[in-house]
């Protein structure tokens, strides 16, 4: 599902980057990189071509690929009940990701609303926001590559009708099946859920209990129908199907039966082990790795990394965490190429993107120049389709 440069400004001419340590698949070499007309033309270990940018020994890595980020929602709703102009929010989100070394993003948009509970802000918004992202892409307004990721909320009242608003023409990249019914998966611990919901929406104890009861009733009435509808929608749209917050081996077995290829944030080591047994790639949150644990009390990403059960990182709700976490993984594994693959080649493969994710001739000129400064990766240049965007 390559983007075929749809609505993307592609650099013409040549850009040469020399005197760099280039992170390849399984190796790091000293040399130079040539980008021509938006694509990587060559990787050379000899003398840099005349006129090349002197990278002063910095690392060159593939542009980062983000499969699941809530960052756009933060820009659209910077505070509760504040609806920011969407196009301005999209452009701010795009620029922020580019500055973090992310050159491809799957913008996660919730599909499925709870319209009967006016105290929380689970209103419908997916179709209009998706249309504005696609418009911005078609008009060449964006710095990096954007695809759609539909977060299909099973515990909702409008999922099927909202999914029906999308067609193959939208080129949806990922559809994840999410079930935030209280008392299971991510929020098995109701006290953690209470902290989150009451802190965000200002509910008192009685209102929270009513909120939980209402969501459980919705799931009992519509959950099975919505899960089946989400699986069917992914097939209809040609999207990669992902699971979300698998907790038990039984959850993973169901995901495998649905045709899931990507597991977002499994909450236990047992679920991650089951994913690997079924050939499902495991994605964990970069903030979890950096913080040393999950804010919901679930399994730590570092634990899965140490067990060899982590394939992909996602910035989730902090875009800058993706680069930092990749280098944290490099320390855990003592293997920089393997760590960089979790934010480049790994997500590219999971999403079915064959034109990016590695530094190799013929692939897109999505490249990031990075220097380590006292353990912190500092981004010194970002190229998307060969055009410098950061």
pLDDT of 2 over the 70 cut: no
Evaluate the CA torsion angle 185, 191, 197, 200 in order and state its sign. Answer: negative
pLDDT given for residue 222 in this prediction: 79
Same domain, 251 and 271: yes
Lowest mean pLDDT among 10-14, 84-88, 300-304, 342-346: 10-14
What interhelical angle do 126-138 and 86-99 show, nearest 10?
Answer: 60
Same domain, 27 and 96: no
pLDDT given for residue 218 in this prediction: 79
Same domain, 28 and 156: no
Same domain, 281 and 188: yes
Same domain, 91 and 220: yes
pLDDT tens-digit map of 349-374: 999 999 999 999 999 999 999 999 99
Lowest mean pLDDT among 7-21, 23-37, 334-348: 7-21
Same domain, 7 and 122: no
Same domain, 163 and 295: yes
Neighbours of 54 (CB within 10 A): 12
Same domain, 25 and 166: no
- CA 300 – CA 347 distance, rounded (Å): 20
- CA 387 – CA 248 distance, rounded (Å): 45
Query: Sorting pLDDT into bands at 50, 70 and 90, what band is 182?
Result: low
Same domain, 179 and 111: yes
- CA 71 – CA 143 distance, rounded (Å): 16
Same domain, 372 and 313: no
DSSP letter at 142?
-
- CA 114 – CA 112 distance, rounded (Å): 7
pLDDT of 18 over the 80 cut: yes
pLDDT given for residue 294 in this prediction: 83
Same domain, 328 and 386: no
pLDDT of 242 over the 70 cut: yes
Residue 12 CB contacts under 8 Å (≥ 6 apart), including other chains: 37, 38
Lowest mean pLDDT among 83-87, 121-125, 304-308, 386-390: 121-125
pLDDT of 4 over the 50 cut: no
Same domain, 233 and 328: yes
Residue 289 · residue 312 · CB < 8 Å: no
pLDDT given for residue 12 in this prediction: 73
Mean pLDDT of 217-226: 82
Alpha helices in the chain (DSSP H): 71-76, 86-99, 126-138, 159-163, 190-201, 205-237, 249-258, 269-277, 286-291, 301-306, 321-333, 336-341, 345-351
Q: What is the CATH number of the domain that holds 382?
A: 2.30.40.10
Neighbours of 344 (CB within 10 A): 29
- Provide the residue count of the chain: 390
Domain count, the chain: 2
Mean pLDDT of 375-389: 97
pLDDT tens-digit map of 188-217: 665 666 666 666 666 777 777 676 776 777
pLDDT given for residue 8 in this prediction: 66
Lowest mean pLDDT among 80-84, 261-265, 307-311, 334-338: 80-84
pLDDT given for residue 121 in this prediction: 60
Q: What is the CATH number of the domain that holds 141?
A: 3.20.20.140
pLDDT tens-digit map of 256-281: 999 999 999 999 999 999 999 999 99
Mean pLDDT of 60-81: 92
- What residue has token string 């419908």? 124
Alpha-carbon separation of residue 48 from 31, 34, 158 (angstroms) = 7, 9, 57
- What residue has token string 């911005």? 136
- Domain residues for the domain of 281 are 64-355
């Amino acid at each position: 599902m390559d983007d075929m440069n749809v609505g993307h400004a592609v650099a013409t001419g040549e850009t040469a980057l020399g005197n760099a340590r280039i992170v390849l698949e399984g190796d790091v070499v000293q040399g130079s990189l040539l980008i021509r007309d938006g694509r990587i033309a060559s990787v050379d270990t000899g003398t840099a071509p005349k006129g090349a940018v002197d990278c002063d020994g910095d690392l060159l890595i593939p542009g980062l690929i983000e499969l699941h980020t809530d960052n756009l929602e933060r820009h659209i709703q910077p505070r509760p009940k504040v609806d920011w102009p969407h196009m301005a929010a999209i452009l701010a989100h795009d620029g922020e990701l580019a500055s973090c070394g992310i050159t491809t993003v799957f913008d996660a948009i919730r599909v499925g609303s709870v319209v009967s509970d006016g105290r929380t802000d689970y209103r419908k918004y997916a179709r209009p926001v998706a249309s504005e992202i696609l418009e911005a892409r078609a008009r060449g307004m964006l710095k990096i590559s954007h695809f759609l990721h539909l977060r299909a909320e099973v515990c909702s009242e409008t999922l099927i009708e909202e999914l029906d608003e999308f067609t193959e023409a939208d080129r949806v990249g990922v559809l994840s099946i999410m079930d935030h019914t209280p008392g299971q998966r991510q929020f098995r611990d109701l006290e953690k859920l209470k902290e989150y919901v009451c802190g965000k929406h200002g509910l008192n104890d009685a209102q929270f209990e009513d909120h939980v009861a209402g969501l459980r009733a919705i799931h009992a009435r519509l959950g099975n129908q919505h899960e089946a509808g989400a699986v069917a929608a992914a097939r209809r749209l040609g999207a990669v199907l992902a699971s979300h917050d698998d907790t038990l081996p039984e959850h993973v077995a169901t995901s495998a039966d649905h045709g899931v290829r990507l597991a977002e944030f499994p909450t236990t080591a047992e679920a991650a082990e089951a994913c690997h047994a079924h050939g499902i790639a495991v994605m964990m949150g970069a903030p979890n790795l950096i913080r040393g644990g999950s804010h919901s009390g679930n399994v730590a990403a570092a634990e899965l990394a140490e067990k060899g059960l982590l394939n992909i990182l996602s910035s989730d709700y902090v875009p800058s965490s993706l680069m930092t976490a990749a280098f944290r993984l490099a320390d855990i594994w003592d293997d920089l190429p393997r760590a960089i693959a979790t934010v480049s080649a790994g997500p590219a493969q999971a999403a079915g993107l064959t034109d990016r994710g590695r530094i190799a001739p013929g692939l897109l000129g999505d490249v990031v120049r990075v220097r380590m400064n006292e353990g912190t990766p500092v981004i010194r240049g970002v190229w998307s389709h060969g055009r410098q965007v950061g």
